[in-house]
Structure 1
Amino acid sequence: MSFKPVTHVLFDLDGLLLDSEVLYTETFSTVCAKYGKNFTWELKSKILGFQGQECADKIITALDLPITRETFMAECQAVNEVLFPKVQLMPGAHKLVEHLYKKGVPIALATSSSKESVDVKMQNHQDFLKYFHHLTMGTSDPEVTKGKPDPAIFLVSASRFPNTPKPEDCLVFEDAVNGVKAACAANMQVVVVPDPRIPPEELTQATLVLKSLEDFEPELFGLPGYD
């Protein structure tokens, strides 16, 4: 695989920088169990990367839950407020983000989560958020008209840098298949650090597949290397 130099970097949040996917699974499982339903990995794998409303609709439809989207999301939010303040950063996340920031590489967050969700998850990681030029939160952002695998969130986020870069000058970091598809649709290179349960054949569009952010070599994409 050949890699092309980039100037700007966009990061997903959940499951990539933040070890939150296990907590989302716990939240969805708790709410679904109230209605006698089982939230499975098979269902979860289909909703990774979607915006909050889309996830709610897909879960309600798949499991035939007798509640509205609004009720489901409200019940999830109540569980999230208990679980999410404990969430930790993923291995290598702080080192990579801090490194790029200190080397002057423009970086931004491009997450499908809502502002309310990000506020809860990141309340104990405020210093980490300061490294990003801006945060694009798809569920709350009126300019992000569709969730991943639509490219909207990455194109919108890239447009908010000063001296807007071309899509091909942006590198995306993702953990989900829908995120990889969105980055490719935006004409951006994408490094994926997937859940090990995701079949490799679903990640063939990715520019680079890693087991951990700790394995990333910035020089591959023309970025400043670690000292």
Structure 2
Amino acid sequence: MSKYRAVSHVIFDMDGILLDTEGVYKKAIATIASRFGKNYTSDIVAKVTGTVERESARIAVTEMKLPMPVEEFQNEFHKLSYDFFRKYGVTVFPGAKRLVHHLSKHNIPISVATSSSQDSFELKSAKHKDFFKLFDHIVCGGSDPEVKQGKPAPDIFLVSASRFPDKPNPEKCLVFEDAPNGVQAAVNAGMQVVMCPDENVPSELRKNATMVVNSLDDTPVEAFGLPELIK
């Protein structure tokens, strides 16, 4: 017996999984922190990654003891990160592109469940519209009224599952995540989760994942009953 359950639907996080955006977020937070002589360390990065913007701001201010209101930090972070996105653009991870095209070709229902707001999603995905057309739907947790709580609460993944036409049971969904908060959200939703973490995420924060990979196209998806990805 395989230790993995067969699935029928796949849900992807976006930042750090599909799009190479985490560097921009780190740069924005580190820029603000440096003004106060603070360091945005890897353990704080792990706590922030995958959270909605308001929660990211609260964690950053609290953990680094920054002398500014959370709302002020959020506004500055929002402006800086958007400026960086416009200036540098965003790329799709090659491994993600291969896996998404593979699943789409085999008619596997796929969706995106991102903590980003709708306007943030539009900005980051602007140059990749054809790629995102491959997905059945997009859930933007930062602005979707049905997503009551952000990750690590399971809301965003349960909402995403419910929006597939056939409304699969959570156990039939496989999630791809990079962040510990996202992994925990998937586990809380009753879903299996493949983690493709940033190198700064410590090993103890990877333990809840069903599987850990270095790149999405390294995932042996056939272990979950999906068509094998041939390299």
Selected match of 2:219 from 187, 211, 216: 216
Q: Unaligned stretches of 5+ in structure 2?
A: none
Contact 2:43-2:201 within 8 A present in 1 as well: no
**In 1, Cα distance between equivalents of 2:66 and 2:206:** 31
Matched, 1:171 2:174: yes
Q: Which residue of 2 aligns with 1:68?
A: 69
Q: Which residue of 2 aligns with 1:112?
A: 115
Q: Which residue of 2 aligns with 1:57?
A: 58
Q: What is the DSSP-based 3-state SS (H/G/I as helix, E as strand, rest coil) of the residue aligned with 2:193?
A: strand
Q: Which residue of 2 aligns with 1:134?
A: 137
**In 1, Cα distance between equivalents of 2:62 and 2:99:** 39
- How many residue pairs get aligned? The number is 227
Q: Unaligned stretches of 5+ in structure 1?
A: none
Tell me the TM-score normalized by structure 2. 0.92
Give the superposition deviation at 1:160.
Answer: 0.7
Share of identical aligned residues, percent?
A: 47
RMSD between aligned alpha carbons? 1.6
Give the superposition deviation at 1:2.
Answer: 1.3
Q: Deviations over 1:135-194 (max 9, x none)?
A: 111111111111111111101111111010000000000011111111111110111111
**In 2, Cα distance between equivalents of 1:226 and 1:25:** 32
AA aligned to 2:172 is D
Tell me the TM-score normalized by structure 1. 0.93
**Higher deviation after alignment, 84-93 or 46-55:** 84-93
Q: What is the DSSP-based 3-state SS (H/G/I as helix, E as strand, rest coil) of the residue aligned with 1:46?
A: helix
AA aligned to 1:65 is L
**In 2, Cα distance between equivalents of 1:35 and 1:121:** 29
Superposed structure 1 runs of 4+ greater than 4 Å apart: none
**In 1, Cα distance between equivalents of 2:35 and 2:126:** 28
Give the superposition deviation at 1:62.
Answer: 2.2
